[in-house]
Amino acid sequence: MLDTFQALAEPNRLAIVSLLKAGPRSVGDVVDALGIRQPQVSKHLSTLKAAGLVEVHPEANRRIYRLRAQPFMSLQAWLEDYRALWAARFDEMDKILEEIQQPGDEPEE
């Protein structure tokens, strides 16, 4: 869990994860999409892979990275332990949901 948080606690890596949410991408795709230089993308992907957040499978000339489901499921399970926190506070929950649904408002990054 700590590894997951550490992996996500960096802006570019969070952006990469967010991009990969839409589907698998090659390193070059990530470079083009996010405007980060290739070596840094490779390094960040390496970090994400070490944390188990992504997996690689080579395809022709490229290496395709995709999100792994497992850490997200673990995160979900981790969150369950905190559910008692907000279970009773539906008023706040409404506010949060509104905030997230606001157009132009990015819930991440």
Strand boundaries in 27-106, DSSP class E: 54-59, 62-67
Cβ proximity to DNA: between 40 and 70 the closer is 40
| Structural contact between residues 52 and 46, judged by C-beta atoms closer than 8 angstroms | no
**56 binding DNA? (CB under 7 A):** yes
The angle formed by the CA atoms of residues 75, 79 and 80, to the nearest 5 degrees, is: 120
User: Pick from 1, 5, 37, 96: which binds DNA (CB under 7 A)?
Assistant: 37
**44 binding DNA? (CB under 7 A):** yes
Residues that bind DNA (CB under 7 A): 6, 9-13, 26-28, 31, 36-47, 56, 58, 60-63
